[in-house]
């Protein structure tokens, strides 16, 4: 009977993690570049003894010990591309990530391509993370054009000369779903994800760039609400199991008095 309490408790914790993941997805439906998260479930078992198979070998006897939710992982399916009205915004149509430098000097990766020009002529995100691409826009330049292949051109104001100011590259990973999530749509590579592989947009499986567009989240409200119904019902069933086990234990204790 104590086992039933433990199993029901593990079910409550696992389904609460599922509900929390869904809630976070719904809250970020309108967040640019957000990728929905999901949790996976794993059966827990424990050894209760051994058995002789008759041939001089023993085998372990296992029994169920409940369920456990994994850490949320990201689903990098494409989100809707929407025109933003900002000529420096970039959306990736296809695979790939922008590589940006954090204020600490660390590198991070994102799909949220909302950029502006900082004081040094670099493309930077709203919170100051700068694109690591080797490009500098001169202060006397205008009409910045970013092509689908990542080539960046600008027009010199005084002369009208069109110059190349740099090249945007994209990064990809062998297992993008294993990236470690930071904040604000930023990710950090892990041993499971592998190191970043760089290429120009449109080459080696990388997506192409769309100037003046942003990628919205890939959260589907109908899917999330359907999942929430299932998660709530599973939570309720585990709560009933916990309550029934408690009532049986109470009855047993009363019989001993």
Decide if pLDDT at 149 tops 80.
yes
Mean pLDDT over all residues of the chain? 88
Q: Is the model more confident about 53 or about 165?
A: 165
Q: What are phi and psi of 183, to 5 degrees?
A: -130, 165
pLDDT, tens digit, 9 for 90 and up, residues 171-192: 999 999 899 988 888 999 999 9
Taking the whole predicted model, whether its pTM rises above 0.85 is answered as no
pLDDT, tens digit, 9 for 90 and up, residues 76-91: 999 999 999 899 999 9
Q: What is the predicted pLDDT for the residue at 54?
A: 63
Q: What DSSP assignment string belongs to 75-123?
A: ------EEE-S-TT-EEEESS-BEEEE-TTS-EEEES----EE-TTS-E
Decide if pLDDT at 62 tops 60.
no
Decide if pLDDT at 61 tops 60.
no
Decide if pLDDT at 250 tops 90.
no
For the chain, the structural domain boundaries read 2-46+63-74+219-256, 81-215
Region 85-107: mean pLDDT is: 92
Q: What is the predicted pLDDT for the residue at 120?
A: 87
pLDDT, tens digit, 9 for 90 and up, residues 198-245: 999 999 889 999 999 999 999 999 999 999 999 999 999 989 888 888
């Amino acid at each position: 009977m104590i086992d039933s309490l433990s199993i029901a408790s593990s079910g409550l914790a696992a389904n609460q993690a599922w509900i929390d993941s869904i809630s976070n997805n719904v809250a970020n439906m309108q967040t640019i570049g957000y990728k929905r998260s999901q949790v996976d479930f794993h059966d827990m078992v424990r050894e209760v003894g051994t058995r002789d198979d008759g041939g001089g070998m023993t085998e372990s006897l296992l029994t169920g010990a409940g369920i456990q939710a994994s850490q949320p992982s990201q689903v990098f399916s494409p989100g809707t591309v929407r025109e933003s009205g900002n000529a420096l915004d970039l959306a990736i149509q296809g695979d790939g990530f922008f590589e940006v430098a954090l204020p600490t000097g660390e590198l991070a990766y994102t799909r949220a391509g909302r950029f502006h020009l900082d004081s040094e002529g670099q493309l930077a995100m709203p919170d100051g993370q700068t694109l690591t691409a080797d490009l500098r826009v001169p202060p006397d330049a205008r009409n910045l054009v970013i092509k689908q292949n990542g080539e960046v051109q600008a027009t010199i104001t005084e002369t009208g000369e069109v110059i190349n100011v740099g090249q945007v590259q994209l990064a990809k990973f062998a297992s993008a779903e294993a990236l470690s999530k930071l904040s604000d749509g930023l990710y950090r590579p892990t041993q499971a994800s592998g190191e970043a592989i760089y290429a120009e947009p449109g080459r080696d499986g990388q997506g192409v760039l769309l100037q003046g567009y942003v990628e919205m989240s890939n959260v589907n409200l109908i899917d999330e609400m359907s999942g929430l119904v299932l998660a709530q019902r599973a939570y309720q069933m585990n709560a009933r199991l916990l309550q029934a086990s408690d009532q049986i234990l109470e009855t047993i204790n009363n019989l001993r008095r």
